[in-house]
Structure 1
Amino acid sequence: MTHLQHLFLRRATGAAALALAVTLGGSLPGQAAAETLKLGNEGTYPPFSMVDAKGELTGFEVDLARAMCARMKVECEFTVMDFKALIPSMLQGKFDVLVSQVSPTPERIAKLEFSMPVVYNPQAFVMRKGVVTTFSKEALAGKGIRLAMQRGGAGIPYINKHFDGVFKHVYYDNPDQMRLDMLAGRLEGVFGAKINWTRELMDTPQGKDYELVGGDHWIGDPAIPPEKRGSSWVMRKGETALLGRVDTALNALIDDCTFTELRKKYLNVAILVREEACAAKTN
């Protein structure tokens, strides 16, 4: 407590002094300060995270993170920035947990702790209709297809490995920028998260001129068995105690169907196999 706060308190008595101590940021005798968990999120990944018309951070992952903090009995504090900056910023200690879905590539697994998966959201190609008739590396080569990808995303090394020399790469900070350029005719295609692009483009009137081609693509570690695949939240390597608390809270939210109730506010399809047990329990 500052000198000025002590001065004010010396002039107050009884209940008034106690109330003033709390107002000025102090705590009552024996009262522990609430733990604050600092969370990082990109805020431009609907329906998982976005900023609404009131300027408030919302979305499924944001709601889930707040529910997780409530189960952990901690206060949540969000930091929002472009996805490409999230992992470096967390490694620098600017926040504790990255709560925007991260694909578990071998390179990331080596330097990060991964929570249990929070969503299975494979990557897909969204193309303007008529651009692709046969989907194969050979058929796509030489067409000059301008393909959008997100800076810092695991889709970039995947494309470099499996479709080397096929596309003209165009990099963006977030999907909103990609969608605007797609609709303006400055791109022929996007390689991005299937759930997001289906909801934000394909299922809208603007999506009538586009199609999903080439099937689903798992960009995480190929050694992970199909039944265990999914994107997760991450924290710094060695934060095993925090990882255990996060996983305990997430498992509880799934088991009591809170996860599914939150998901249904934003998506009408299950995003984890474990949600099947809640199908008949939630409206």
Structure 2
Amino acid sequence: MGPVWRRLASLACLILPLLPTTFGAAWGEALRIGTDARYPPFTYFTPEGRLTGFEVDLGNQICDNLGVACQWVDLPFSRLMPALREGRIDAIMSSLSITPERRRLVAFSTKYYSTPIRFVVARDAPVTIDAAGLAGRRIGAIIGTTHVDHLFHGFSHAMAPILFETQGEMIDALISGGLDLVLGDSLGLWHFLNTPRGAGFTWAGNPVYVDEGIGIAVRQEDTELVERIDRVIDKLLVNGTFLRINARYFPFNIY
């Protein structure tokens, strides 16, 4: 266990190891929420090792209203769905797109934000966003996302993107020149473009919506849980809590 984990152990909201318990055993005490903690401004660690971000703040509010503690479990994005289906976490709150394909595997809450996907390129190396313009380009995407599906189905089944487990790794490759462009959620990439590291990069092409919004995923049999989460999300939208959390991270409404 590294120093970050030791510091987190003293916090009220814990990052816990995966426990092989069922949801029924945890309900009433704690909700184990899986997230990829390398996706600012949604989930990330501060330099002091504290987990924070839009989804963390919103998730903690949801847990408070459910009368349970949040136990945040940090996993790479591609490992979240298996962990949920195997019962090692109770929910996923990690900018997970709601799609018909995923609905066959898990149940989703109502959406809690919306974001299109979009390409980012270097300012001095513009790219035309069509099948011909992308042919032969080194395109970065995060494994297991709708971004990869869009490349295959929207442009060419012969497309061979370079896949990464985290957005941070993908951005590092773009900055170092290992990629020609990346495709990702526009809000996560908006955050990157508004940092000093993103000064030399810009949008390419138009935003595209490829899902039904972003929701919290639970196992299909956990109908009571998803119904209670939906009621809480509706409450937070009505009483202004959602907008207050939104304003901490974005100068515009992302709902």
Counterparts of 1:187 and 1:167, CA distance in 2: 14
Alignment equivalent of 2:90, drawn from 74, 96, 106: 96
Counterparts of 2:73 and 2:106, CA distance in 1: 19
Give unmatched runs, 5+ long, in structure 1. 1-32, 221-228, 273-283
Pairs aligned (count) = 229
Q: Report % sequence identity.
A: 27
RMSD (Å) for aligned C-alpha atoms: 1.7
Alignment equivalent of 2:163, drawn from 153, 168, 171: 171
Instruction: Compute the displacement of 1:166 (Å).
Output: 6.7
In structure 2, relative to structure 1, the CA distance for the partners of 1:250 and 1:180 (3 Å cut) is same
Instruction: Compute the displacement of 1:78 (Å).
Output: 1.2
Residue 45 (structure 2) aligns with = 51
Using structure 2 for the length normalisation, give the TM-score. Answer: 0.85
Q: Is residue 184 from structure 1 mapped to residue 176 from structure 2 by the alignment?
A: yes
Give unmatched runs, 5+ long, in structure 2. 1-26
Instruction: Compute the displacement of 1:95 (Å).
Output: 1.0
Alignment equivalent of 1:158, drawn from 150, 166, 173: 150
Counterparts of 1:59 and 1:173, CA distance in 2: 19
Counterparts of 1:233 and 1:206, CA distance in 2: 30
Counterparts of 1:56 and 1:208, CA distance in 2: 27
In structure 2, relative to structure 1, the CA distance for the partners of 1:237 and 1:131 (3 Å cut) is same
Residue 215 (structure 2) aligns with = 232
In structure 2, relative to structure 1, the CA distance for the partners of 1:183 and 1:118 (3 Å cut) is same
In structure 2, relative to structure 1, the CA distance for the partners of 1:78 and 1:133 (3 Å cut) is closer
Instruction: Compute the displacement of 1:89 (Å).
Output: 0.4
Alignment equivalent of 2:201, drawn from 200, 207, 210: 210
- State the Cα deviation string for residues 103-158 of structure 1 (Å, max 9, x = none): 122210111111111111111000123433533223332xx211111012121122
For residues 1-283 of structure 1, what are the structure 2 equivalents within 5 Å? Answer: 35-132=29-126, 134-141=128-135, 144-164=136-156, 167-200=159-192, 202-220=193-211, 229-272=212-255
Residue 17 (structure 1) aligns with = none
Instruction: Compute the displacement of 1:65 (Å).
Output: 0.6
Contact preservation (8 Å) 2:62, 2:232: yes
